[in-house]
Structure 1
Amino acid sequence: MLRTRVIPCLLLKDKSLVKTVKFKEYNYIGDAVNTVRIFNELEVDELMFLDIFASKENRKINFKILQNIANECFMPLSYGGNISSLDDAKRVFEIGFEKVVINSNAYKNLKLIEEISNYFGVQSVVGSIDIKKTFFGGDNIYSHHGKKKQKNDIVQWAKQLESAGTGELLITSIDNDGTWDGYDVNLIRSITSSVQVPVIANGGCGSLEHITDVVKNGNASACAVGSMVVYQKKGMGVLINFPSRERLKKALS
């Protein structure tokens, strides 16, 4: 069984970091490289960077900022944002990243995941699914940073990503994103009970109790955290932080 990981999920917009709320509004957080330096000092185990506008705006990957990040970072890195070919993935890995996160481009080309997975191994690919509730309480998948609705069934799509060669899945609740109200535990549990690969819960974490909840009741293998590690508290200013190992150990015991 994998040790539960708590992963800062940092959102890139151009050269800067931002934080969204429900994939809509966003606030400036700071310089990406300086933030990496702080997380180095805090001895974070892993970092995830997502360029949230790359696919929506069909922009090329900013390899320069990724290189700057990799040059400063002491821990494993993953990157997502308009990776559309094996060559894109090769370049990201050559820079120094260990994993790529595939979301929007998988819907039009599922073989992209197969190609990357076959070349680098399943541990190198994270399949990402963004989910938003309907007015009647159902769930829909959205791509391109929440702008394009997909017709795929959530559980079936998770299974397809698993079959294609993803080593783990990143499941994000759009409704919970940036709210500090906790993860969508029922959503996470519906995925973890249907696939064999590890599932990373994302969207809504505001406390260690939320991490405990989604791990114990949603069976998440890892937790992505955003607002909690870039702000002092809800409604307060930017402060890059991370829980101590002692606090995390207690929360996950």
Structure 2
Amino acid sequence: MLAKRIIPCLDIKDGKVVKGVNFVGLKDVGDPVELAKEYDRQSADEVVFLDITATYEHRDIIKDLIARAASELSIPLCVGGGIRTLDDFRTILAAGADKVSVNSAAIKNPDLIKQAADEFGVQCVVLAVDAKAREDHSGYDVYIAGGRENTGIDLIEWVKKAEALGAGEILLTSMDADGTRDGFDIDMLNAVMDVVDVPVIASGGCGGKEDMAEVFEKTNCDAALAASLFHFGEATVDEVKDVCAARGIPVRRNRK
């Protein structure tokens, strides 16, 4: 069995890492490059930079951060937020990122997934999906614009289409669970993994080390992502991996 990946996520606004609850109430928690370096030291398997301001005025900020981080990290760096065109992919990858995460633009122009996969390879294309359960419990809707706009698109149909177009990985965030720290959305994750073969990263709801282990025990996800758990010093990546290993979950141990 392949080792499960533990991925810290750094939401970046105006060059600083921020964290909120249910996509609102943002607090400044530090410098992204310094935090990423610390997670590298803690044996993180990769890190995600998410540019949540995501306007062209901020693109130079994120390019600088990517270049600084890429020069100092030994682990893969995935970058998302405001990716609208193939040129944005080129810019982010040229700055030093290993993967690019695309969300809203892929909904508006699904062919962007195929174009990026054809030019850069499927391993560079991560489809980020923000989804929320419908009130009638009939399934899940996909949201865009930082979780503000319900597209009315069915989650399951969307991930199947995106995989067929060339998405090499799916970063799935449960809006219901995000920031609540009540654990990952197991039902949503399993619903997606039942219909796709590409790796799925679980996101939203991690409140402790045990939640990381639980998501690997109860789903076949390839990776789990968290922010608050790491940013506020409640657990290190190594401590999470210790818990996972003790429960028989394969993880890459500290390289030191």
TM-score (normalised: structure 1): 0.90
1:64 and 2:64 aligned? yes
Partner residue, 2:198: 197
Summarize deviations over 1:177-232 as a string: whole Å, max 9, x none: 11111000000000000111111110011123212222222221111111111113
Equivalent-residue separation in structure 1 for 2:233 and 2:58 (angstroms)? 33
Cα deviation for residue 117 of structure 1 reads 0.5
Assess if the C-alpha contact under 8 Å between 1:185 and 1:213 holds in 2.
no
Partner residue, 1:17: 17
% same residue: 35
The AA in structure 1 aligned to 2:181 is W
- Map 1:174-253; keep pairs closer than 5 Å: 174-233=175-234, 241-244=236-239, 245-251=241-247, 252=249
Equivalent-residue separation in structure 2 for 1:59 and 1:193 (angstroms)? 40
Indicate how the Cα distance of structure 1 residues 16 and 186 shifts in structure 2: closer, same or farther if over 3 A, else same: same
Q: Which runs of no fewer than 5 residues in structure 1 stay unpaired?
A: 234-239
The AA in structure 2 aligned to 1:91 is T
Equivalent-residue separation in structure 2 for 1:195 and 1:73 (angstroms)? 30
Partner residue, 1:145: 146
RMSD over aligned CA atoms reads 1.8
The AA in structure 2 aligned to 1:13 is K
Assess if the C-alpha contact under 8 Å between 1:60 and 1:82 holds in 2.
no
- Map 1:22-37; keep pairs closer than 5 Å: 22-37=22-37
Cα deviation for residue 71 of structure 1 reads 2.2
Partner residue, 1:237: none
Q: Which runs of 4+ in 1 moved over 6 A?
A: none
- Map 1:6-155; keep pairs closer than 5 Å: 6-54=6-54, 61=59, 62-138=62-138, 139-155=140-156
Equivalent-residue separation in structure 2 for 1:20 and 1:151 (angstroms)? 25
Indicate how the Cα distance of structure 1 residues 16 and 114 shifts in structure 2: closer, same or farther if over 3 A, else same: same
Assess if the C-alpha contact under 8 Å between 1:99 and 1:123 holds in 2.
yes
Indicate how the Cα distance of structure 1 residues 59 and 110 shifts in structure 2: closer, same or farther if over 3 A, else same: farther
Cα deviation for residue 59 of structure 1 reads 5.1
Equivalent-residue separation in structure 2 for 1:214 and 1:38 (angstroms)? 24
Cα deviation for residue 40 of structure 1 reads 2.7
SS at match of 1:188: helix
Assess if the C-alpha contact under 8 Å between 1:36 and 1:72 holds in 2.
no
Equivalent-residue separation in structure 1 for 2:236 and 2:29 (angstroms)? 12
SS at match of 1:163: helix
Structure with greater contact order relative to length (CA < 8 Å, sep ≥ 6): 2
The AA in structure 1 aligned to 2:186 is V
Q: Which runs of no fewer than 5 residues in structure 2 stay unpaired?
A: 251-256
Paired residues, number: 245
Partner residue, 1:236: none
The AA in structure 2 aligned to 1:10 is L
Equivalent-residue separation in structure 2 for 1:111 and 1:170 (angstroms)? 18
Summarize deviations over 1:100-135 as a string: whole Å, max 9, x none: 001011111111111111111111111111012344
Equivalent-residue separation in structure 1 for 2:31 and 2:196 (angstroms)? 37
Equivalent-residue separation in structure 2 for 1:208 and 1:132 (angstroms)? 24
The AA in structure 2 aligned to 1:99 is K
TM-score (normalised: structure 2): 0.89
Summarize deviations over 1:16-48 as a string: whole Å, max 9, x none: 001121111111111112212212322322111
Equivalent-residue separation in structure 1 for 2:83 and 2:21 (angstroms)? 24
Equivalent-residue separation in structure 2 for 1:158 and 1:97 (angstroms)? 23
Equivalent-residue separation in structure 1 for 2:19 and 2:176 (angstroms)? 14
Assess if the C-alpha contact under 8 Å between 1:230 and 1:241 holds in 2.
no
